[in-house]
Structure 1
Amino acid sequence: MSSRLILSIFSCLLLFRQSNTEAKSLEEPSSILRTAYDELQRKGFPSGLLPNSVANYSLDTSSGGFSVQLQGRCDITLPPDNYPASFSDKIAGRLTEGYIQDLTGIRVRVFFQWWSITGIRSSGKDLVFEVGVVSAKYPSSNFDESPDCEGSNHLSS
């Protein structure tokens, strides 16, 4: 009877140790935390699509739905044609491999009128910006670096 008791205790200890090891392997160290810029690059986009004023972001990895919170509204000049662009303090959309769709929060001024950028496709070495049914293609290398916000329309940290 005592050998059964010892065997039972040994089995319980072995199971406890195995489950404890498995639980530790599921934990993610804090060094694995990604930024919004990292997530763009993981999906085939340059990080310079976002200004350098990102405060935080959220991403639903199953649907691709995302939300980026900036420190405030941000005005920039888009290369290479020097179009004025404006980021609201919140940008949202759906991020999938090579495509950002249902985009809200980014506008560009072309022909004296402000237009919302509704999608961005990554096509090889180019980015295709969608403004409704119209699109424009630019080299993705123009967006390798995150732009600084211009003027006083953003919050400083």
Structure 2
Amino acid sequence: MALSLLSTALCLILIFSQSLPSSVSSSKETNFLDQDPTAYEILGDYNFPKGLLPKGVVAYSLDTATGKFSAFLNGTCSFSLEGSYQLQYKSSIDGYISKGRLSRLRGVSVKLFFMWVDIIEVSRNGDDLEFSVGIAGAGFPIDNFEECPQCGCGLNCVGDNRKVSKIRSNPFVSSS
């Protein structure tokens, strides 16, 4: 009799566990791989254009409770945008995302004069994006970021028929 009750209980547990979704988790952190939204689509959900990230993001994670995110590339990535700015992305980019604001960024740098400085924050202000490197910042029209740049060649890759105008910007200025 006890063996029969144990068997029945095990069968019910197996049936019940099979009917639960396999993604049930106590953590709010989600890793999106397969056919879930892309990192570029997630940027759109937070009111940012997809062109903030270069082509080739292979995975990302997002904790929707805190806004902590990470995006992963196959390796480091660098390119120039119309000769105006040189950018570097590490293989892992992370920070915190909220509507219209990326903060505490790590993994993205811009070359100013002869030195590389980290971009630590991006905020959306109407139709402009404001980039901060801490002591200075620059504003760019959001339409500059409609397309994702490609590692090595930016927006002017060989075989690419798009004509891209020079990046329009407000030069980096002091934040004081």
Mark yes or no: TM-score above 0.5.
yes
Q: Which residue of 2 aligns with 1:131?
A: 133
User: How far did residue 41 of structure 1 move?
Assistant: 0.7
**Superposition RMSD on alpha carbons, in Å?**
2.4
Are 1:75 and 2:104 matched, yes or no? Answer: no
SS at match of 1:40: helix
Structure 2 residues without counterparts, runs of 5 or longer: 1-19, 25-32, 154-176
Q: Deviations for 1:44-70, whole angstroms, at most 9, x for unmatched residues?
A: 110000000101000000100000010
CA distance in 1, matches of 2:59, 2:122: 21
User: How far did residue 32 of structure 1 move?
Assistant: 7.1
User: How far did residue 111 of structure 1 move?
Assistant: 1.2
Q: Which residue of 2 aligns with 1:117?
A: 119
Q: Which residue of 1 aligns with 2:66?
A: 63
- TM-score, structure 2 as length reference: 0.66
Structure 1 residues without counterparts, runs of 5 or longer: 1-22, 152-157
SS at match of 1:136: strand
Q: Deviations for 1:18-54, whole angstroms, at most 9, x for unmatched residues?
A: xxxxx78xx9xx9972110011011111000000010
SS at match of 1:142: helix
Q: Which residue of 1 aligns with 2:38?
A: 35
Q: Deviations for 1:107-150, whole angstroms, at most 9, x for unmatched residues?
A: 00011110100000011110000101311000111011001100
The one of the two structures with greater contact order (alpha-carbon pairs below 8 A, sep at least 6) is: 1
SS at match of 1:62: coil
Question: Percentage identity across aligned positions?
Answer: 38
Q: Partner amino acid for 2:113?
A: F
- TM-score, structure 1 as length reference: 0.74
Q: Partner amino acid for 1:121?
A: S
